[in-house]
Structure 1
């Protein structure tokens, strides 16, 4: 979760997706993402990566092994104390769910960010719309439902219980779209006054989900719905 409690990231990697997976009991490991990124940059492109942690340990070990097993490197990283209960994600029945090409969603967010800072995402039975406005003008993009497209990953599919229209900060959505390479499609789930879920399915391994609180109209302007 980010410092302003506006955005949250959740990733699940299933045990079946690993060459070797062993977990004797449930563990909660607090990891600094920036520090882990530094550790992973020490691995070669073809290295086999193994993560190891003991019960109640204050470190996690990264082992990088070359394919020919001629080089093995161990790196230890200090863990953080994190209250896992604060990061719980309740199950939600969404009013609208849209599956669309992830590259198209990335392009729309990038293009609209050159016009305005926020985007209004609206979903109806006809499709999904993205609207923004700024000092230089306005922009509106509509992706109509297209289940008849030949390639499944190029389809725009809408599952709708009630029409939804919510406003979000484009800078967060553009950060989310950095995960585009993980999946050819992205699923957007929306409900009134609730965070949007932006989900990328990782084939045969799991999924990556981003949650972003909507902005609401107030007397002083637009503000995110979230804890301050």
Structure 2
């Protein structure tokens, strides 16, 4: 099969940011089992819930950021994430990654991993799944504040507190981010103030206090995306899902949404 030309293919996409895709797939397999990738002429997208209908994942990789991007018509591609990871995890830093689909066989996704230094190509033909695509409409919202902090710091906080309690309370008071929990044997609180590394941007009423309690198990899952980006953004609004945003290298972004725990 010729993957150097658009002629025989309805999809042909190439990127040198193969390590970024590797990290992304490794993270997604922890959250999603089977999912639908939407290929259009301007982006690769995912907008879906996890199997527990607790987490919403919204991914967008922009066509303009790839070395080569061709998608003849919109395609919905059903993929098992564990199986995709088995293929993608073999990628090395200097590899070029290509996705392609022959116009005459839309039930198979071709994946090529090429290393020009070694003059080597590995091609896999992956059987696709027939999955229902759930159209999820995401309403627009104005958030109380947006907090940007180093992604590794947020990951460490979530991991550390995960050994103490099941839930994390997040508060934003003025320019302070307060992360706290109450466990069986202790309570724990971390206060982070606006600084060079951490910024707090108020998009609404600056004096409004944000407070929400979130399941730590899912927050720890979210931090699997840490290596995608040096920073992470937290979008905060009372009685609204917490939105956590990572950039995906320079290819696009992933947003993970988690509803707060109901008050008892």
SS at match of 1:135: coil
Say which SS state the counterpart of residue 136 (structure 1) adopts. Answer: coil
1:142-181 matched pairs, under 5 angstroms: 142-146=191-195, 149=196, 154-161=197-204, 162-181=208-227
3-state SS of paired residue (1:132): strand
Which residue among 115, 129, 151 is the counterpart of 2:164?
A: 115
Partner secondary structure for residue 126 of structure 2: strand
Deviations 1:1-55 (A, max 9, x none): 2211011222221122211111122222122111110111344443221101246
TM-score by length of 1: 0.84
1:130: Cα distance to partner?
A: 0.7
Distance 1:170 1:209 in 2: 17
The worse-fitting range, judged by mean Cα deviation, of 117-126 and 155-164 is 155-164
SS in 2 for 1:192: coil
Q: Which residue does the alignment assign to 1:138?
A: 187
Alignment of 1:18-37 (within 5 A): 18-37=66-85
The 2-side partners of 1:140 and 1:91 are apart by 32
Q: Secondary structure at the match of 2:263?
A: strand
Structure 1 residues 108 and 42: CA distance shift in structure 2, 3 A: closer
Partner of 1:3: 51
Query: Which is worse superposed, 58-67 or 48-57?
Result: 48-57
What TM-score comes out, normalization by structure 2 length? 0.73
1:109 deviates by 1.0
Q: Distance in 2 between matches of 1:48 and 1:34?
A: 21
The structure-2 alpha-carbon separation of the partners of 1:59 and 1:4, relative to structure 1 and needing over 3 Å to count, comes to same
2:251 paired residue number: 205
Aligned counterparts of 1:53 and 1:16: Cα–Cα separation in 2 = 19
Gap regions ≥5 residues in structure 2: 1-48
Please give the residue correspondences for 1:30-45 in structure 2 after superposition, counting only pairs within 5 Å: 30-45=78-93
Does the residue aligned with 2:77 lie in a helix, a strand or coil?
A: coil
**Aligned 8 A contact 1:122 1:165 in 2:** yes
Cα pair 2:60 2:254 within 8 Å, conserved = yes
Name the SS of the counterpart of 1:193 in structure 2.
coil
Shift in Å at residue 160 of structure 1?
4.8
- The residue number in structure 2 matching 1:78 is 127
Structure 2 residue 99 is matched with structure 1 residue 51:
yes
Question: 1:145 & 1:44 partners in 2: Cα distance?
Answer: 38
RMSD: 2.0
Residue 131 of structure 1 and its aligned partner are, at CA, apart by 0.9
